[in-house]
Amino acid sequence: MNIIRFSLLAIICAFCVNTVNAFDTLEPGILKVAVTDIPSEGENAPGWTLAFLREFEQAYDVKVQFVVVPFDNSWLLPANHEVDVAATGISVVGERENIGTTFSTPYLQVKRGLRIHGDNTHLFQTINDFIGFQVGTVEGMTAYTDLVNRAPQGVNIVVYDSWNSMYEAFHNRKIQAVAEGYYVSVNTDINHSDENYPMIDDHDLIPGQPENLAFAVRNDSVGLLEAINDLLYKTGFPINSEWKLN
C-alpha cells in the first residue's frame, strides 16, 4: 500500500429577546461557521447544511459568516476561538473529541465506499481490485483513515488537500476511484443514482456501528449547542420532518 395589546406585546418582545440572546458568539449577531467550500443549494450535504443555517439565521436573528478552511483538523477551530461552529462534514470519532468543543446531535449517518467511473464497473468491485491503480482521498478525512486501513499492498493511494482537487483529478481520470462516504439516513437514490459515477465496496467504518456526522460547537459560545440541537430536532435535518436517526 502506497501511501445545516401591551400584554401581548410584552410577551412577543420577551420572546424576541430570548431568541436573540439565546446564545453567545465570538462576535455579537454573527455566527462564524467553518466550511471547506462556500455551500450552495442542492440535494447533498453542503446544500442541506446551507438550508439549515439559513433557517438558523431566521430563527435566532443572527448572520452566518462562512470561513473557508481545509478539512484536516477543522474540528479544532471552535476550541481555538477561530469560529463558533465547524460544519465541515465531521464524523464523530474519538480522536476528534476536544476540550473546548462539543459535538451536536448527529445530523447524518454515512457508510463508506469507493466512487468509480461507470465504464469501469467490470474492473472494480472492492478495494482489492485496485492493486496497481490509483485511489484518491483527502488528508485528515475519515475516508483517508478508512482507505489506509483497508487497502492491500499495491494500491496506490493519492492524497489531496481538498475535495475539489481530488474530484478534478478523478474527472480527468488521473485516478480511478475516490474514497468517500455516502448517506444512509436519507434516500439512498441520492447516493447511487448516478450511473456515470457509481459507488462500490459499501461498508461501515466500524463493522456493525453507525457512523454519524455532527457539527463541532465552541463551548464558550454558551447556549449555542442547545440552540443548534433544538433546531436540528425541530427541522429533522437534512430533508424532512419525518427523519429520525436510528
On whether the CB atoms of residues 224 and 24 are closer than 8 A, the answer is yes
Model confidence pLDDT, tens digit, residues 30-56? 999 999 988 887 777 788 889 899 999
Task: Please check the confidence at residue 246 and state whether its pLDDT lies above 70.
Answer: no
On whether the CB atoms of residues 159 and 138 are closer than 8 A, the answer is yes
The average pLDDT across 48-71 equals: 93
Model confidence pLDDT, tens digit, residues 182-239? 877 666 555 666 789 999 998 988 888 888 889 999 999 999 999 999 999 888 776 4
pTM given for the model: 0.75
Residue 75's pLDDT band, with cuts at 50, 70 and 90, is: very high
Where do we find the cell 440552540?
227
Domains, the chain: 30-108+212-235 (3.40.190.10), 109-203 (3.40.190.10)
Identify residue 224 by its one-letter amino acid code: L
Which pLDDT value is given to residue 14?
36
Which pLDDT value is given to residue 6?
31
Which pLDDT value is given to residue 192?
64
Rg (CA), the chain: 20
Which pLDDT value is given to residue 238?
60
Cell of 20: 436573540
Cell of 236: 429533522
Cell of 164: 475539489
The average pLDDT across 107-133 equals: 94
Which pLDDT value is given to residue 91?
87
The average pLDDT across 166-190 equals: 85
Which pLDDT value is given to residue 45?
75
